[in-house]
Structure 1
Amino acid sequence: MVSIPRKIARLLAFALIVSTIILVGVNSGGWNLQAGSNSRVSGDRKLVFSHKSAKTPQQIVEENYKTLQEILKRPIHEPKTGNLVRPPSDPDQYDRANATMLVLVRNRELGQVVRTIKQIEAKFNRKFHYPYVFLNEEPFTERFKETIKKHVSGKTYFESIDKAIWEQPESINVQRQDEAMQQLEAENVGYAKLVSYHNMCRYYSVNFYNHPRLQQFRYYWRFEPGTDYYCDLDYDVFKFMEMNKKTYGFVIALYDVEQSVKTLWPRTMEFLAEHPDYLHPNGAYDFLLENLQNPHKTLIANGYSTCHFWSNFEIADMDFYRSKPYSDWVNFLDSTGGFYYERWGDAPVHSVGIGLFEDRDKIHWFRDIGYKHQPYTLCSNCPSCKGCKTADFTYKHLRDQNCLTNWWNYEMSEEQKNIY
């Protein structure tokens, strides 16, 4: 039988190990957590960014942007998988994937969401008639519902979010929160003092996939009011995800505001110290740990590059969010209060989660979905794309926010690069 002193000694030793891992990671920018012995890459994948460069950050910004322009100017058409599912002759009789269009929207955003829905219907959904789920923290008005029904081809679900789930937990220290929000606002962090924005980020990170209505679906296409879509899609993107075993699809990747996620990575390392088996051996570690283009961001974010998939568009498998690794992790994050004491966004949370706990080959860059959410655009050289300028991305002063080239350089296999 183990004596009490020995139990205490073991606990102290474990605490010391965890603390050492965290301190070493923060101070060096490298996290030496092994990714398991069954990695299919040479040697163990580790949470360490090992790439070096003698170039200045500004030189890397220009080089990466040039590479992005070259990629987007290459003529592409559709994914060359050989199993694309074409539009049916009768969409109402079509055997759709278990999927939905999804938007979190307020009644006052009716005009903007209709504008975007018209584009989604014209480019994609009028061919397949996928249903829509509309989420709101308040009940939808009859005017909102009746107007929406005039513009969609699929079934509509208008759902309210339980206030007990939407609103910040009672465990949040309001004084600490107010002080943190004041500091973030002083550092020009957007939406820092808007509690509803913090609620939204937390909801999209921790809860949306467990909404009673969404429980009946596996895949979702998230869209935002006022965003633009430029390219005709003549295949079922949900069945593309399903048949090609893709977990997450994105269009734009950016750096985040570093002050908003100062402790997201250290907290994640605390979690992984207790659950190293959750780490996927073929995760997207370099994307998350890159420190060459914006090294100040990685420094302030304590090891996290802040690169993330811009989640205002995403097509993803909610079964991933419902899995034990992701669920345990986000519940741990939620317990720390970081969604309110900082401004952790759902985009970095989704990106860190998918980058650590999923095979990077199951993440798909939809280069054939032209998209704009001001001030960023994805416009490829694709014959189905109309209304956007090929290779357009953003204003010159924002070019350093480009993380797409990092994804291309560090995480995409040759097979993935040549899929279009």
Structure 2
Amino acid sequence: MSTPTAGARPDEVRRHNRTALLRRLHVDGPSTRAELATELGLNRSTIKALVDGLAESGIVQERVPRARSGAGRPSLLVLPQPQAAVVLAVDIRVEQVAIALVGLGGEMLGRNRWNLHGRTREPDEVITHIVESTRVLAEELDVKTFGVGVSVPGVVRRSDGFVHEAPNLRWRDVPLGDRLGATLGVPIRVGNDAEIGALAEHLRGAARGSEDVVYVSADIGVGAGVISDGAALRGTGGYIGELGHMVVNPAGRDCHCGSRGCWETEVGELAMCRALSLPEGSPRGAVVAELRALRPGDDTLAEFRRWLTIGVINIVNAFSPELVVLGDLFTALPRDLVDAVGLEVGKRSLVSRAIGGTRILPSTLGADGKLIGAAELAFEPVLGTV
């Protein structure tokens, strides 16, 4: 936990401590006052004052734990109250949009999703549908939203949510953050989908407890999010994570980005279809079914594995992560293939050998990963204001 700067006023210190306590409860769940004092490095009287104030505001509640031990007075659990602070999470994909209203503590209170095709993929249509669906869902649940987090498969300027380009959506220069903010009237944060996936895995998934992580996801395209020393790596203007467009095969296929032989042309969804002898554009379910039907030792994906390995080696050499998390379609890859990639990375990556090995694991969050990450993106500023 960071400490307040020297000379901070008492009210600033209280606000800092209050936010730290709320974040601890939001991410890690119910805890006793004693545990909170130890983990946050605060004395018990400070924790008591903070918890009492939050309880009076209805943001937390205290109760006796169901499982009790010992004969003495039980320590009360401090629990975040989900409806005390609710955010909207939006996951925009090439083929569908999902929204969820998520309460303090990460509980999904309600959700909706719809498919995109033809005209419904246009920015105006997507924005209108998000706004209308959010209003209906909020009325049904009788909750107020404090902020919005949006995941987009494209190059996004983090300062204002401006989508410079989302090639697979055919979006260019879309002021998504400004338009949603003006309509919904709450703070909006927009991020690249892979960056948001990395955030979700770091806080609530396979990368929980890891400080240096790269999350790589395969959909129509391939993207990556980087957690370095416990914080998201964002680059100039927030533009980072387009590792799907690193060139791995100069003699390869043309990519929609204007280059040739990008990694996503070798390991993205269309590449999976080719490797599995499926028509390009086959339903997602058919691709997943074929991947999961492969038996250990099957060499159908040998060439695919080669390119996946090369890309992961480059990632490990560039970012030195202790963990690489594979998301979206990559989670359907056979376990023996993922293990084989890990072995090759250990042999061929100078950095992996230097740090004692890099683990490669599938995501544990399933289809909700981007929604979870979008909610966490929205909660970042909200926890300091509720």
- Same fold, judged at TM 0.5 (above): no
RCO greater where, 1 or 2, for CA within 8 Å and sep 6 or more? 1
Tell me which protein shows more strand as a share of its residues.
2
TM-score if structure 2 supplies the norm length? Answer: 0.30
**TM-score normalized with structure 1 length:** 0.28
